[in-house]
Structure 1
């Protein structure tokens, strides 16, 4: 069950989806990283623009300061001339003061313009830096997604590998246990031992029946018939090796029959 669950969790379709997601996140990460690098390349130029705008602004401010200083001097000079009562010179100084006022207004406007350019350059740099930071954060975010999905995929594959190894080990252990059990329960095949007759025992030997001499007349046939019957009874026992007692009995019977036959012959004579 563990192996089947691991195979289902790490099926080819699911692993393929993980790989597709990882590839998609990798593509987005590469895109964000490329954009961040491109935006970062323009940061030095923007900083140079800020430095130039700052220099212009400083120059405009210095001009205003100089014009203001000149104006202050003319105002002091006008006071001195008016104190002397030189109206013509005083009128000339007044025209100069008026011109200085106009120049100062123009210089201050220049300062305002330079300050505006400086702020715009600074804002452009800040926006560019924010875009760089945003792209880099996006790249890091997609990198985190890549790492997470890769870890999930690798965990499923590792779990599948462990389940497969455990299954293989279990199968191997089962086969070894089964082989050991079969060996323990199977009967051992032994060769039957040869039976040696005990020393000194006598093997039964065949007994030779006495051979009756052929006789003539009627008495010869009954004797042969009785012997045949006796032989038939022995044959009916089914023994292929008759015992010594049975053979002795047959011999005695045959001897009695032969003696009776001789007596009958003598009496008939």
Structure 2
């Protein structure tokens, strides 16, 4: 029982209201941070489809610029071959026209390549923007999971302390109950049973001894006739005998003693008178 009491006191100290309140405060703070991070992640995730659409559009522009630059380059290559053939024929006027076309194509190719570079840069920007957004979403989600794990851990610690307190209280209550039952059983086993004394009553048909009447003319009888004190003692003794009480009371014993003293005094006076 003492061990159960010590465990209960330790459990109460570990799960004191102040400590449980601190646990609840920490749990509430972690849950608030988790909700905040989860809300931010949800908000950031909402814009991901739009960013992906921007990437698709930028990719289309980039592909178009690449195709235009490739076509212009192919056309330029054809004009260069055509110029060689015309120059071989000696047609200077046609050759001059082709040269002007080649010059124009080269300018268009420069512009097309610049367009390709611009579209490529734009595509990289929207791609990087999407990646940053996705990283932010992942960071917020990981933070929300981390705060949730902290909250769950503190909840588990708090519940473990409260459960330990409940178990310690149950063990202590059981120990107290067992102690009370054992004490009651021990007290019952060691205490003697108190029996009430029963009074002994004489049988209703029993007859009491009667006094024997002495002859009135006998001198011995008159000389040694019992005195009043003797008769009183005999009467008291008869009363005690008639009651059947095996343990006479103090009053009855005092009466017998007084009667005995009276008998002794009477006998002494008679002896003196006879002398």
Deviation at 1:106, TM superposition (A): 1.0
1:158 alignment partner, one of 163, 168, 179? 163
Whole-angstrom distance in 2 between the partners of 1:96 and 1:238: 176
Map 1:242-257 to 2 at 5 A: none
CA change 1:211–1:161 in 2 (3 A) is farther
Is 2:62 the partner of 1:57? yes
Structure 2: 5+ residue stretches without partners: 1-5, 242-262, 271-275
Deviation at 1:196, TM superposition (A): 5.4
**Aligned partner of residue 125 in structure 2, secondary structure:** helix
What is the root-mean-square deviation in Å for CA atoms of aligned residues? 3.2
Most deviating of 153-162 and 191-200 = 191-200
Matched with 1:120 is 125
1:187 alignment partner, one of 183, 189, 192? 192
Map 1:32-71 to 2 at 5 A: 32-71=37-76
Map 1:211-226 to 2 at 5 A: none
Whole-angstrom distance in 1 between the partners of 2:234 and 2:211: 16
Deviation at 1:201, TM superposition (A): 8.0
Structure 1: 5+ residue stretches without partners: 213-222, 244-249, 258-269
TM-score normalised by structure 2 residue count = 0.76
Deviation at 1:238, TM superposition (A): 9.8
Is 2:115 the partner of 1:110? yes
From the CA coordinates, give the structure whose radius of gyration is larger: 1
Q: Which runs of 4+ in 1 moved over 6 A?
A: 198-202, 209-212
Whole-angstrom distance in 1 between the partners of 2:65 and 2:25: 59
Whole-angstrom distance in 2 between the partners of 1:185 and 1:85: 145
